């Protein structure tokens, strides 16, 4: 059986870190098994869904390298939901209710006050057809609930949490359709998973109770439930759920100079016992992806760690990958020279300015100025193919300087910096006449 996973965001806002992790893990799971990764836009909430968010979701996934094989939109699938809805009514698995939100809230408070679970009491099942007719005549429209089978315990072997068991008597019959005809999440999602051939649903542990309900929906629709796995939610670096994680989006990360490879490398392993390895590409990460490696403890997302991983990724990026992001005229040799000193690709412009000039060198004392003047004379005579070893060797012989006293004034005069890329690689990039001018 081909593994089919899906990512099902609602286009009511931008993707945040938690969404991205879910999408990535579903993509990795499909890739590991040579399967298919699908995108479903859950846009049944017409009032809150925005087309610009749909476009942003597509763009964010593409930036991360997560390319779905198929895309569906729930707003285009209402006929499919309607047909399933009618079948469930005929089976007696859906029933009409009229309680207001206030009435339901009062019922819950009474049950809680008695120390009982706040479960819907199925009072609407006592209504007769005459009662429904009277309600309709009065202009009342029903909402619809799915009737759980109290005689069939809900069980599944969760890919992360292990064996799960729920007693349907301790669960409320969920509302699946509002009085205005609009759909809630639960039933359309199950219908879509059946029709789209989804075999594996990997999502956050906040959906565990939804899964318990949806297992019975799959069975009522004469379908085998997919394999479920629920991973621990992300926490912030402070060790608790962070509001920032709910708003930290791909656009924010791009603006901060984070590369997609770094975000993928970190999020692929977040929540597992496996070390984060910035050297692994997406194919390697998929090959090593294993649900058994995920723990039950909350997964800690640390922005400082992301920055460290990003720097390590930048240090490995080939010139072809970054060429379009570099300053005009900056070639492969310059990139190879400076990339070990970058935390973000955008910093390359600063080092290109060092190479191209002009630079602001520090003020030197008379002794150092004399040393640099001598260096300028030597530099003017050198073969510029490999000037740094020749320059320093000649100056060491003629002046007796060595170590920091030899190297630091040269670096300062040539780059205006106390530290930076290896001068063996950097100095050949600076034109000989420009280097002589700086030393002079």
Strand partners, 94: 146
In this prediction, residue 242 has a pLDDT band, given cuts at 50, 70 and 90, of: low
Same domain (yes/no): 65, 2 = yes
Pair type for strands 143-146 and 94-97: antiparallel
Q: Is the CB of residue 208 less than 8 Å from the CB of residue 181?
A: no
- Residue 342 inside a domain? The answer is yes
Give CA–CA dist 49/10, Å, rounded. Answer: 7
C-alpha distances (whole Å) from 245 to each of 140, 249, 346 are 42, 8, 24
CATH number of domain containing 63: 3.40.50.620
In this prediction, residue 33 has a pLDDT band, given cuts at 50, 70 and 90, of: very high
Same domain (yes/no): 372, 352 = no
Average pLDDT, the chain: 95
Same domain (yes/no): 173, 113 = yes
In this prediction, residue 42 has a pLDDT band, given cuts at 50, 70 and 90, of: very high
Same domain (yes/no): 64, 88 = no
- Residue 7 inside a domain? The answer is yes
Helix axes 404-415 and 387-399, enclosed angle (nearest 10): 130
Phi/psi of residue 315, nearest 5 degrees: -65, -15
Residue 230 burial (C-beta neighbours within 10 Å; 0-12, 13-18, 19+): buried
- Residue 186 inside a domain? The answer is no
Q: What percent of the chain has pLDDT over 90?
A: 92
In this prediction, residue 238 has a pLDDT band, given cuts at 50, 70 and 90, of: low
Arithmetic mean of pLDDT, 93-98: 98
pLDDT score at 239: 61
- Residue 310 inside a domain? The answer is yes
Arithmetic mean of pLDDT, 80-100: 98
* 245-287 per-position pLDDT tens digit: 767 888 899 999 999 999 999 999 999 989 999 999 999 999 9
In this prediction, residue 124 has a pLDDT band, given cuts at 50, 70 and 90, of: very high
CATH number of domain containing 417: 1.10.10
Q: Which is it for the CA torsion 414, 419, 422, 424, positive or negative?
A: positive
Q: Is the CB of residue 245 less than 8 Å from the CB of residue 17?
A: yes
Domain that holds residue 332: 319-356
Q: Is the CB of residue 333 less than 8 Å from the CB of residue 424?
A: no
Cβ partners under 8 Å of residue 125, min gap 6: 95
Same domain (yes/no): 397, 325 = no
Same domain (yes/no): 332, 381 = no
- Residue 207 inside a domain? The answer is no
- Residue 130 inside a domain? The answer is yes
- Residue 115 inside a domain? The answer is yes
DSSP state of 326: S
Same domain (yes/no): 309, 347 = no
pLDDT score at 215: 98
The first and second tokens of residue 116, run together, are 């009982």
Nearest in space to 8 (alpha carbons), one of 189, 233, 158, 176: 189
Contacts 24+ apart (CB under 8 A), 154-159: 154/212, 154/213, 154/215, 154/216, 155/215, 156/211, 156/215, 156/225, 156/228, 157/227, 158/228, 158/229, 158/230, 159/200, 159/202, 159/227, 159/228, 159/229, 159/291
Question: Which of 130, 146, 177 is the C-terminal boundary of a domain?
Answer: 177
Same domain (yes/no): 170, 86 = yes
* 319-367 per-position pLDDT tens digit: 999 999 999 999 999 999 999 999 999 999 999 999 999 999 999 999 9
Arithmetic mean of pLDDT, 155-170: 97
Same domain (yes/no): 311, 326 = no
Same domain (yes/no): 109, 172 = yes
Arithmetic mean of pLDDT, 1-13: 95
CATH number of domain containing 107: 3.90.800.10
pLDDT score at 248: 83
**How many CA atoms, within 13 angstroms, populate the side-chain half-sphere of residue 181?**
4
* 396-426 per-position pLDDT tens digit: 999 999 999 999 999 999 999 999 999 999 9
In this prediction, residue 240 has a pLDDT band, given cuts at 50, 70 and 90, of: low
Q: How many domains does the chain have?
A: 4
In this prediction, residue 44 has a pLDDT band, given cuts at 50, 70 and 90, of: very high
pLDDT at 313 over 90: yes
pLDDT score at 1: 84
Same domain (yes/no): 65, 128 = no
């Amino acid at each position: 059986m081909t593994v089919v996973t899906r990512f099902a965001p609602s286009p009511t806002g931008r993707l945040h870190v938690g969404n991205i992790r879910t999408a990535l893990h579903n993509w990795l799971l499909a890739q590991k098994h040579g399967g298919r990764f699908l995108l479903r836009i859950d846009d049944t909430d017409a009032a809150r869904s925005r087309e610009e968010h749909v476009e942003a979701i597509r763009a964010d996934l593409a930036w991360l390298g997560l390319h779905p094989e198929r895309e569906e939109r729930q707003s285009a699938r209402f006929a499919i939901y309607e047909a399933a809805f009618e079948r469930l009514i005929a089976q007696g698995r859906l029933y009409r209710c009229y309680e207001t939100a206030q009435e339901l809230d009062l019922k819950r408070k009474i049950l809680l006050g008695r120390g009982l679970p706040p479960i819907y009491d199925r009072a609407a099942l006592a209504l007769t057809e005459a009662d429904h007719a009277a309600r309709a005549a009065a202009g009342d429209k029903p909402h619809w609930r799915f009737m759980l089978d109290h005689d069939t315990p809900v069980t599944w072997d969760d890919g992360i949490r292990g064996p799960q068991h729920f007693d349907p008597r301790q669960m409320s019959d969920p509302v699946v359709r509002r009085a205005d005809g609009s759909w809630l999440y639960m039933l359309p999602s199950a219908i879509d998973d059946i029709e789209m051939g989804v075999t594996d649903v990997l999502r956050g542990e906040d959906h565990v109770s939804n899964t318990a309900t949806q297992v019975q929906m799959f069975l009522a629709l004469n379908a085998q439930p997919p394999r479920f796995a629920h991973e621990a939610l992300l926490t912030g670096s402070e060790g608790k759920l962070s509001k920032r994680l709910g708003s930290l989006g791909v656009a924010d990360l791009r603006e901060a100079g984070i590369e997609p490879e770094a975000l993928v490398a970190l999020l692929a392993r977040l929540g597992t016992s496996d070390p984060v390895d910035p050297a692994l590409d997406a194919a390697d990460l998929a090959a090593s992806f294993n649900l058994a490696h995920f723990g039950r403890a909350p997964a800690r997302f640390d922005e400082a760690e992301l920055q460290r991983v990003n720097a390590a990724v930048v240090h490995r990026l080939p010139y072809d990958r970054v060429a379009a992001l570099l300053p005009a005229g900056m070639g492969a040799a310059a990139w190879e020279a400076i990339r070990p000193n970058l935390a973000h690709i955008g910093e390359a412009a600063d080092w290109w300015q060092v190479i191209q000039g002009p630079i602001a060198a520090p003020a030197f004392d008379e002794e150092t100025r004399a040393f640099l003047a001598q260096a300028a004379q030597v530099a003017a005579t050198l073969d510029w193919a490999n000037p740094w070893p020749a320059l320093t060797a000649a100056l060491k012989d003629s002046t007796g300087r060595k170590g920091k006293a030899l190297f630091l004034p040269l670096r300062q005069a040539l780059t205006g910096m106390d530290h930076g890329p290896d001068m063996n690689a950097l100095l050949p990039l600076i034109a000989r006449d420009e280097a002589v001018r700086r030393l002079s």
